[in-house]
Structures are given as C-alpha cells and as structure tokens.
Structure 1
Amino acid sequence: MDKNTIIGILLIGAVIIGFSIYNQPSEEQIKAQQELLAKQEADKKKAVEQQKAAQKKQEEIKKQTLEDTTALFHQALTGSAENIVLKNDKLELTINSKGGTVTKAVIKDYKSLDGAKDVTLFDEKDQSLSFKIDGKEQNINTEELFFSASEKTDSTVTLTATAGAGKTLTMRYLLGKDYMLHFSLQAQGMEGVFSSKTNAVNVEWNERCRQQEKGFTFENRYATLTYKEKDGGTDYLSETSEKIDERISETLDWIAFKNQFFSAMMIAKNDFAPNASLTSIPQQKESGYLKEYKARVETFFDPTGKTPTELEFFFGPNDFRLLQAMEKESKFGKDLKMERLVYLGWPLFRIINRWFTLYVFDWLTNLGLNMGIVLILITLLLKAITYPLVKKSYMSSAKMRVLKPKLDEATKQYDKPEDQMQKQQAMMQMYAQYGVSPLSGCLPMVIQMPIWIAMFNFVPNAIQLRGESFLWIEDLSTYDPIAEWGTNIWMIGDHLSLTCILFCGANLLYSWMTMRQQRDQMVGAQAQQMKMMQWMMFLMPLMFFFIFNDYSAGLNFYYFVSLFFSAAIMWALRKTTNDEKLLKALEARYQENKNNPKKVGGLAARLEAMQKQQQEMQRKREELERKRKGV
C-alpha cells in the first residue's frame, strides 16, 4: 500500500468523522426531540385511558343488557361456546360459536417445525377477528356474541345471533375444494337498530405470526403484512422495522398476514375503504413468533339486510401457480393478483423469474427430479445460454493479455505521472489498430448479475424446496449446519452453514481467477494498482459469509454451483486458447487496419477519440490560464 493510498484512506476517515460531528443535533434539537417524545408518551397514555374508559362503558352497557330482557342481543350475550370444524383434503378450519369466526387453521400435508405432518397456521391463542357495527343506542361487537349453528356439513355452516323478536345477525361459511373460504355477514329485521349514516362494518383482525421454519432470521425477512391496492399493485410494511398504525390512503382489495411459505389473506368483495390502519411488530427470536400483525379496516355493510357483506379468506401455502388458481376460485371476479404474495423481485428481476425461471422450474419439477438436481440443471441451462457472450468476453481479455508485451514496449516512455493521459491515448490507439475492445472483459459480471439477483429473489420463495433433502442437506429451504451452539455470536449467529462455506470458497476461487486474468492484461501502473486491490477482492467472500450464513441452503448451493461452473468455464477457455495463434490473428488484423486506416473503428477507437478530445480541451484550458496570468 503506497503513500497516496494511505493518505486517501485517512482523508476518507476524516471526512466520515467530521460529517458525523457536523450532523450531531444541537441542544435546541435535542430539547425539541425530548419534548416530542414526552408528548408522544402523554398521547399514548391518554389513548390507553380512553380505551379503558370505553371498555368500562361497554361493560356497563353489557351488564345493563343482561339485566334487561328486552335489550338488543340479550340472549346472545350468554351461552356455551361450540367448535365447528370445516374440512377438505387440503385444509381444516375450526370456527368457534363465541364470536363466530375462525380460531384455528391447519394446512394439511406440509410438515411442521415440530415434526407434525400438518402445519398449524394459527390457533385461538394467536388469532382474533371481530366485526363492529355502529348502532343508534348500542354498538354491536360480534366478538361478544354467542351464535347458534345450523346447516352444518364438512364445508358449510350458518351461525345466527338473535338480537330480539325477528332481529338476527347471520354469518355463513362455505369452504371450497382447496384453500378458499367464502364468508357473508347479514343483518335481518334490524333496520331500526342502525342510524341512517351506518353503511360500513369495522373489521379488526389480529394475528401473531408463528415461526414455521428452522431459520428464524431468514424466515423473518420474508414475513410481511402485504396488501393489494384496488386497480393497482401490491405493497407491504417493512419486514425489519416496527410499523404501528400505518395509514393506507388507497382503497384495498385484500390484506395478507404472510410468513415465508404460508399466508392468511382476507379479501373484500366491495373493497376495504381508504385510511386502513395496519400494524407490523417484529418479535423476539426465542418467542416462537415472527411478527405481530394488526389490521383495522372498513368495508361495505347494508343495514337493511338486502345485500350481505361478503369476504373471502385464503389460508394456505405461498405457491405461485396455486395462488393463480385460487384467484379463479374467487367469486368476486376481481383481478386480485394473489400470486404477488410470492415476491419475485424488482421489475427487471421479476420479469426474468416470471417468464423464464418459473417455467423452467415447473418443467423440471414436473419431471419428478430432486430439487437439488433441479437447481443444478437450471444453473447449467443458464450457463449454456450465456456461454457465447462469456466466451466472446474471455477472448477479448485474452487478446489484451497477448498484446501486453507490445503495449509495455509502446508505452514505456510514458512513465511519469503527468504522461498518463498520453499513455492511455497510446494504449487506446493500439487497441483500435488491433481490433480489441478493452471493456468487453466486464461482460461476464454484467451478464451474470441480473440472473444472480433474480435467483436471490426466487429460491427463498420457492415452497417446493421446503423440506426437500439433497446430499447432506436435510432441508433446502433453510440453513444446513455443520456446527451449532446455543448462544448467538455477533455477525455469525448460532451455527455454521456448510453450503455457505462452499459458496464463499467458490467465490474466492473465482475471484482469484478473475484477478489473475485482469492482472495479465494490465500495463504499467495499472498492474501495480491491481495488486493493491487484491486484498479488497479477497475480503468479499468473507463478507458474503457473514451475510449468507443464515440464508437457505438452496440459495447458497445455487451460488456455489454457479461459481464452480463459471470457474470451470474460465479454466477450460484458458486451456483451449492458443496464445500464439491468437497473436498471429491480431497481427494480421493490425496489418489489415494499417493498410486501410478507415476500417479502424469500434469501442476502442471511440474511446481514443474521446481521449484526444479531452486532451485538446485540457490544452486549451491551460493556454487560457496562461494568457489570463500573462505568462
């Protein structure tokens, strides 16, 4: 490391320290922040007190209702709770007659974290749902009511709460053949109970999202409260930071409480009104939960009872093709875009995954192949597709390598720092004469990066990898530890993942081969600068280890295989390239261009022209400066 590099590092450090000192808040700012926090704390305390007062008032109303035999829902406020089970081959739901909502959802044929054959998405401890309707004298909260069940089958049930003579509130459930549950809420004979302004029902939905996979940190990255805007796209609350009472100004089609591979979704036929309140609170690692979700929304309600309030619920796996099929089973006829629960990345990467990766993945999966083999075959297919460009790029680097002695000889007179512009110009001129593009060597990284990022989004969201074993890997959807310990170590965690180590090792090998290739083609000071950059390049695999140790074995395995084949291709091209023949071909091209200068073109020629233009502009600036000073 030379003196200039050390000075540069020290200057950068000084700038960072100075910037941090400059950005420290003033005493006034600190005081204002403290006042704001105090106000927020007071507002929070006031809100809690108001909530307690409202609860106390509701309890008094409930007590008066129980004592008054003519009061609204007098009989429905007492009773015994009954569990009603709706089930099919894919899903089993438990509905409690106290409140009349789903209290337990079991998704069949997906192995749970504790080894059970089915996954329990939530039970009565984790989830609650209530409907609140404003009345003239008394508000209605379904959570407090006991419903009587009728018309019970494995797929249907009708729940009725009696409000008085000829007055009822009815819920109807219909379970489809897969994971979709249809729901309706209807008031009958209760027109006089509601005010003339009542046209909406308030829905309060809470869930503590269970940890379903072994890797808490990795699964938590993909657990999000997601929602779909009407006639728009999907969005989600932050997966890492706490969001409380986040207000959504748009009208919504659905809201989903999502973890990595399973979701609970609520869909409104008549939309959820703007200004929905959504909350997502990350949970502690040892709690057994990922997030605490809350949704406070409004949707259509007809107080006359002519038109029911209709919702649909999806309780099932986040499978892209399955979610597309579920949308067809919806009775609402909306463009729900349910498959967006499976996040495939930003637009460019989503296009790659949506129209290439998914189809190839589906085709290979339908052949009945092991998921590890599927990942290897996808890698080989991508390498085959990109091979022509990679080879072209490598040959461009090889041309620069065999020309290096000539470049060293032609530019040795430009060793002084002030001659670097002329040196670059001379190099560009030679590249143009020999028909070599100096930037083509960057193509392999440019080609591979979109694919790497696309697979970074695809593999962790592919539920087909869940529970699938390959070689030593027990589950491709989570990390594969070769060592585990009870305590958490900063930046490492509580385990070592073998596939992550292999990926970092392959990255180290590929980085070494790439640097050697670049070093072999660099001239003069460039080669010296490359030597100083080597230690930084070797640090990258170490950084990747700290990032990817928690990631799924499937993703690390894909990157390992991809880098292994990239290194193998580079080695094979190096072994099969005859430097003498390549140099002869370049000499022939040089003679051809020398005899016909008009044929010299390409990127190198354009770069040379740009450098000449910059040099001329620099010369003119220097002349103007000398004239200004009178020299």
Structure 2
Amino acid sequence: MQENNGVDRKQIILFMIFSLVMMGGMFFFQNRDAEKQAAIEAQKPATTQSDNLTTKPAAFSNLNDSVKTTAIQEIQLKNNELTLHISTLGGQISKVQLNEYQAYNPLTDENDLPLMLLDKNNSSYGFAFKDKTGKTFNTKDLVFNANQNGNTITLEHRGNGAIIQFIYTLTDKYTVDFNVKTQGLSNIVADNKAEFQWNYQAKSLEKGRSQEQTHTEFGYAFDNFSSYDYDGRTTMEEPDETLNWLAIKNQFFTAIIEPQTGFKNSSGFQDTVEEGEYLKKFNFSGNVDMAGSELNQNFKWYFLPLDLKLLKEYDKNFDEILPLGWSFIGTMNRWFFMPMYNIIASWGLTAGWAIFLMTIIVKLILSPIMFKQHKLSAMMRVIRPEIDEVNEKYKDADPMKRQQEMMSVYRKAGVNQMAGCLPALLQIPIFYALFRFFPNFIDLRGESFWFAKDLTAYDDVIKLPFHIPFLEDHLSIFAIACTAVILIYTMLTAGNMQQPTAPGMPNMKVLMYIFPITFLFFLNTASSGLSWYYFVSNAINILIILVIKYWILDEKKIHAQIQANKAQPKKEGKFQKRMREMMEKAQEQQRQQQGQIQKRQDKNKKK
C-alpha cells in the first residue's frame, strides 16, 4: 500500500496553471461583454434618475428598486392653520399638524402636545392599477422626484414611458388641492378605472378614551352633497351610491378626501383598538373614473376642526359630520343651545358660569310646566287618603274595578294624571340634545372650571388604584355631586308616587332610588360639562319644590279646591272617556271569559 504523504508537487503546479487560464478567460469575456453593453447603452436615449423600473415592460418599478436610486424626502408646506409634510415615498401627505390646537398629554393632564392628525405613518393612501399582465401596482409603493414652488409641490414618477404626477397646493386655511395627472399610463394599465385605497389609524387626541372612541367614525356625502350617512360600527358598503366625499372623524377633528367625480363602489372597514396610541383602524377603497385609461382628476384634502360655523362655510354638507343629534335634537342644538351659549360667553363669562346661566334660562322657559307638575304633586298628596281608602276597600276585588274607582277619584277631584307626564317627556329630548352638545362643542374643548380641566371630558381628581367596570379608574366629583342632588330630588318627590297593589308589580319607589345610582356610572366617564349642567338643573329643581311647597302652594286651599271640584264634577275629557270605555270593555271581556270557564267547570262536574 502506498503511503499518502500529502499533495504531490506536480498536482500543485497543474492546479495553479489551470487557475490562471480560467481567470484570464473570465477577464477576457467580461471585457468583451462590457464593451458590447456600453455600445448598446450609447445608442439609447438618455434617461432620468427615476426610470428605475423592473425588466418587465408592463409593470412599474417595485419599492426596493426605487429606494436604491432615489432617497426618500419629506417636504414641508405651511400656512397659519396647517403644517404639512409630503413624502416622496408614495407621494403622500405623511404629517398634518393643526397649528391653532393642541392635543391631550396624559403625562401632564393638559392639552400641551402638538395636534398631529397624521403622523408616525398612521396614514397611507394611493391609487391601485391593474396592468395588462393581470398584476396590480400601487402608487404608494413608488418613489417620486419632488419640485417645490412656494406652497405647491409637484411630485413625479416615470416608468416604462408613463409619467405619474401628484401636485399638492396648500391654499388658505384648511384645504389642500391634490391634482393627479398621468401620461402614457394607457400603455400599461388594463382597464379604465383606478382604485383609491386609504388605510388610516385614528390617533387619540383627547382625554377620555371611551368617549373619544365612540365619536370616531366614517362619514360621507352623496346625492350631490345633499345626503349624509355615517358608520361608527364595523363595515360600510355603498356599491350603488357615488360618494362626493369621505371623512374619517375623531371627536373634534376630521380628515376629508373629496374626488372631482366621486368614489364609486365604495367599501370600508373599521376595527376598534383596545389600548395604546390609536383608537380605531380604518381602511377604505373606492373606484375613480379614468378617461382613455389616463387618470387626470382633481382631488381636495381637508383637515378640519369640527367647528359648526367653519364647516358651514364650505357649503358641502360638512356640518353633518358634527354629531349633534338627528332631526329635532340636532335642530335644538344648532339653533338654541349653541347660539345661547355663544351669546352668554360673549359677555366675558368663563365656560362653567356660562353653562350655569344657560341652565337657569332653560329652567325659566320650562317654569310654567314645572309649576303645573309641582301643583299636581301637591294635589296628589291631598287626595292620598282617598286613594288609600279605595285601595283598601277594593284590595280583594278585580284589579280593573279598583283602577276604575281610583280614576273616578282623580276625575272628581279635577286631577289629570297625564299632566305630570308632560315635563318628563319634555326632559327626554333636552337631555339627549345636551348629551350630544357637551362632548361635541369645540368651544368647550380645553375650557376648565374648578377641578375640571376640560369640560368636554370627565374630571378625575379622585383616582382609584384599581379599575371598576363602567367607572374605570377614577371618580368624577361633578358626577358624584350630580348623583347626590338627583337622589335628594327623588326623596322629595317619591312620596307622591302611588305604590302598586297587584302581586308581582315592581315597587316604583325602589326603582326611583336605584336610578340615581345608575346615573353615576353613566356620568363618571361623560363630559364634566354635562354633569355640571345637571347638577345645577336638579339643584334648581329642589329649590323650586321647597319654594312652591312652603311659599306658593297652600295645601289647605288645594284641598278646598278639590272639594269644590267634587261638588261640581268636571266634564269627562275625551282621553278619560276613552280610557274608561277601554277599561269597561276589558272588564266585560274578562267577565265573559270567567263565565265560560265556570260553565266548563260545571259541565265537567256533571260528567
């Protein structure tokens, strides 16, 4: 056996000669290919830096190819109201700051942060096209070259003989003109439409996450700006309508995109974010028309505070974005509460005292009705012994008969029970209007009063070391105070309430005492302005009850009036007559049913 002592000297020499030959050949052919390629390139027309396309003739360059050749930049546009940053990546508006407003800072519990509606890549939009190979490309993946002239920026991307231009012009106030122009795109795209896609994460800008999240939603107009709809839940589908504009709103601010010819076959989705910097995630897609497979259309962006007067100036139905309530509720806010507050505030009062005076004015307007209600309560106290006597006398009788006798007592005494329902019915639309008014009225945003730093959010002076469902991690002083006065008011009025005598009926007094407690859970996370209003309102109610009871209404005179009414019974009203006839008919039907049951029982006994 031959011993292996390593590599032979001849093998080493042959390996070195072979390597030199291979390296020389590679160098020779590489130079020939380079000379040939240089000759070909010399015959081609000159290209710009943005001609960074893939080798496929029908497709635009991808993002990686673009970034290799062009650096991504952000260009600033600014006026008194807005500061914009426009990125050459996608040709998009990447940052929007509203210069006259500030955002809530949870670290300082103040509105002292720059109010950035768009920031940190929370918004991405672009136009998606389908090329002739069936693939889709989107302008938000392209890198553009930029040229700025004053408050106008022209962004341009070239590829495969096609040119896409985005031209942004920051006009006065809150409007940005966004013009899209293409040339040669018809040689690449396969159809005559482009799909506008917008992905947006709504930032938290206010104190009170749950309230702000509730007011963050889609909004859109159609029917030539005359109709408006919104969606605060999950999906929005508008396959048949042409949208004149689309808005994504927060509690006090909104971003709106308006296409020249509208969005068609629109759809969107929103998903709630449970915690962190963002409130909800939105995505939207809608088709825009192309002429001759070219996209030449004007758009407008609006970045607006939700100020009613400002929104009306645009005459595009933007004021509907402000959620003041439907129909009569919204009308009450627009034409009564807002103007009244503005007039009072113009006297130089702070927001809290303006709300105080507003409450008194509302109470004065409702005072005639409130007086009738309290007079009715006094009359009910006077005839209480007679009502108790009827209940005792007919406690074992048919409930329908007992109810008829009680109505007879009311009628003879001249007491109209329905009159007490009117103030309560009037309070419902007023309550709902104010429920919409306080958290959506931008003039109250950031306005402090006593321990409340912002009347559109809750006060949280009392912080809890733990989280309670519905109450969260704090107790609102205004909410506690409002609950206390509602409880006192209930104690003063519950004595007049008739207790149910039928078995199984709930005790209304107990329910009335439970209501103020549940009110605490509702108000604790609501706007402190609403709690302050209802604290003042119910405190005035208590004062009215005491004044009427001890200085205005004399129960002896009321008793004498009731006795006089009994001596001269009042004519039965239409409603009372209808109720009596209905009860008599029901009582007759009940007697017939009982008679039939008795006959069947007797017949069975005979068998």
Q: Relative to structure 1, is the Cα distance of residues 469 and 527 closer, same or farther in structure 2, using a 3 angstrom cutoff?
A: farther
Partner-residue secondary structure (3-state), 1:571: helix
Q: Relative to structure 1, is the Cα distance of residues 486 and 337 closer, same or farther in structure 2, using a 3 angstrom cutoff?
A: farther
What does residue 444 of structure 2 align with? 465
Gaps of at least 5 residues in structure 2 are 1-49, 106-110
Q: Which has the larger radius of gyration?
A: 2
2:182 to 159, 184, 187: 187
Cα shift readout 1:348-388 (whole Å, capped 9, x = no counterpart): 42232233223323333444432212222222222122221
What does residue 591 of structure 2 align with? 619
* TM-align CA RMSD: 3.1
What does residue 220 of structure 1 align with? 213
| In structure 2, distance between residues paired with 1:492 and 1:152 | 54
1:417 to 391, 396, 399: 396
Matched, 1:157 2:161: no
Matched, 1:88 2:84: no
Q: Relative to structure 1, is the Cα distance of residues 248 and 471 closer, same or farther in structure 2, using a 3 angstrom cutoff?
A: same
Q: Relative to structure 1, is the Cα distance of residues 177 and 535 closer, same or farther in structure 2, using a 3 angstrom cutoff?
A: same
| In structure 2, distance between residues paired with 1:76 and 1:525 | 82
Cα shift readout 1:92-141 (whole Å, capped 9, x = no counterpart): 11111221110000001212223546311121421111222233357542
Aligned pairs for 1:228-627 within 5 A: 228-230=221-223, 233-239=227-233, 243=234, 247-251=237-241, 252-274=243-265, 276-285=266-275, 287-303=276-292, 305=294, 308-325=296-313, 327-328=314-315, 336-409=316-389, 411=390, 414-485=393-464, 487-518=466-497, 522=498, 525=501, 532-575=507-550, 576-593=552-569, 599-601=571-573, 603-626=575-598
Matched, 1:170 2:165: yes
| In structure 2, distance between residues paired with 1:413 and 1:96 | 83
Partner-residue secondary structure (3-state), 2:457: coil
Cα shift readout 1:232-267 (whole Å, capped 9, x = no counterpart): 64333345xxx3x65432422222222111111112
Give the conservation status (yes or no) of the 8 Å contact 2:261–2:289.
yes
Cα shift readout 1:55-105 (whole Å, capped 9, x = no counterpart): xxxxxxx99934689986699673122222222111111111221110000
Aligned pairs for 1:29-44 within 5 A: none
What does residue 148 of structure 1 align with? 145
Q: How far does residue 524 in structure 1 lie from its aligned partner after superposition? A: 9.0
Q: AA paired with 2:337?
A: T
Give the conservation status (yes or no) of the 8 Å contact 1:95–1:101.
yes
Cα shift readout 1:391-447 (whole Å, capped 9, x = no counterpart): 1222223222212234445x3762432254333222222322222112322222212
Give the conservation status (yes or no) of the 8 Å contact 1:432–1:605.
no
Cα shift readout 1:463-520 (whole Å, capped 9, x = no counterpart): 11111011221111111112224543333311111111112112211221221232xx
| In structure 2, distance between residues paired with 1:299 and 1:246 | 18
Which structure dedicates a bigger proportion of its chain to helix?
1
| In structure 1, distance between residues paired with 2:58 and 2:577 | 95
Gaps of at least 5 residues in structure 1 are 1-61, 329-335
Q: AA paired with 1:310?
A: N
Q: AA paired with 2:92?
A: T
What does residue 123 of structure 1 align with? 119
Q: Relative to structure 1, is the Cα distance of residues 444 and 174 closer, same or farther in structure 2, using a 3 angstrom cutoff?
A: same
Q: How far does residue 324 in structure 1 lie from its aligned partner after superposition? A: 1.4
Q: Relative to structure 1, is the Cα distance of residues 614 and 279 closer, same or farther in structure 2, using a 3 angstrom cutoff?
A: closer
Q: How far does residue 625 in structure 1 lie from its aligned partner after superposition? A: 4.6
Q: AA paired with 1:296?
A: S
Quick check: 353-362 or 79-88, which moved more? Answer: 353-362
| In structure 2, distance between residues paired with 1:273 and 1:310 | 16
| In structure 2, distance between residues paired with 1:369 and 1:394 | 32
Q: Relative to structure 1, is the Cα distance of residues 149 and 356 closer, same or farther in structure 2, using a 3 angstrom cutoff?
A: same
Q: Relative to structure 1, is the Cα distance of residues 63 and 395 closer, same or farther in structure 2, using a 3 angstrom cutoff?
A: same
Partner-residue secondary structure (3-state), 1:111: strand
Q: Relative to structure 1, is the Cα distance of residues 582 and 261 closer, same or farther in structure 2, using a 3 angstrom cutoff?
A: same
| In structure 1, distance between residues paired with 2:500 and 2:139 | 80
Q: AA paired with 1:248?
A: E
Q: Relative to structure 1, is the Cα distance of residues 412 and 261 closer, same or farther in structure 2, using a 3 angstrom cutoff?
A: closer
Q: State the aligned residue count.
A: 542
| In structure 2, distance between residues paired with 1:582 and 1:621 | 43
Cα shift readout 1:22-74 (whole Å, capped 9, x = no counterpart): xxxxxxxxxxxxxxxxxxxxxxxxxxxxxxxxxxxxxxxx9993468998669
| In structure 2, distance between residues paired with 1:491 and 1:311 | 43
Give the conservation status (yes or no) of the 8 Å contact 2:52–2:159.
no
TM-score by length of 1: 0.78
Q: Relative to structure 1, is the Cα distance of residues 199 and 584 closer, same or farther in structure 2, using a 3 angstrom cutoff?
A: same
Q: AA paired with 1:295?
A: F
Q: AA paired with 2:115?
A: V
Q: AA paired with 2:349?
A: L
Q: AA paired with 1:228?
A: A
Q: Relative to structure 1, is the Cα distance of residues 499 and 545 closer, same or farther in structure 2, using a 3 angstrom cutoff?
A: same
Cα shift readout 1:292-312 (whole Å, capped 9, x = no counterpart): 11112211223465x722221
Partner-residue secondary structure (3-state), 2:434: helix
| In structure 1, distance between residues paired with 2:576 and 2:140 | 74
| In structure 2, distance between residues paired with 1:168 and 1:202 | 18
Give the conservation status (yes or no) of the 8 Å contact 1:437–1:604.
no
Aligned pairs for 1:12-161 within 5 A: 65-66=53-54, 78-114=69-105, 115-116=111-112, 118-137=114-133, 139-154=136-151, 156-161=152-157
Give the conservation status (yes or no) of the 8 Å contact 2:399–2:502.
no
What does residue 47 of structure 1 align with? none
Partner-residue secondary structure (3-state), 1:310: strand
Give the conservation status (yes or no) of the 8 Å contact 1:84–1:96.
yes
| In structure 2, distance between residues paired with 1:254 and 1:300 | 15
Give the conservation status (yes or no) of the 8 Å contact 1:187–1:304.
no
Partner-residue secondary structure (3-state), 2:538: helix
Q: Relative to structure 1, is the Cα distance of residues 499 and 309 closer, same or farther in structure 2, using a 3 angstrom cutoff?
A: same
Cα shift readout 1:566-625 (whole Å, capped 9, x = no counterpart): 2222222222210111122222233233xxx7x344644553444334333433444455
Give the conservation status (yes or no) of the 8 Å contact 2:60–2:137.
no
Q: AA paired with 1:102?
A: I
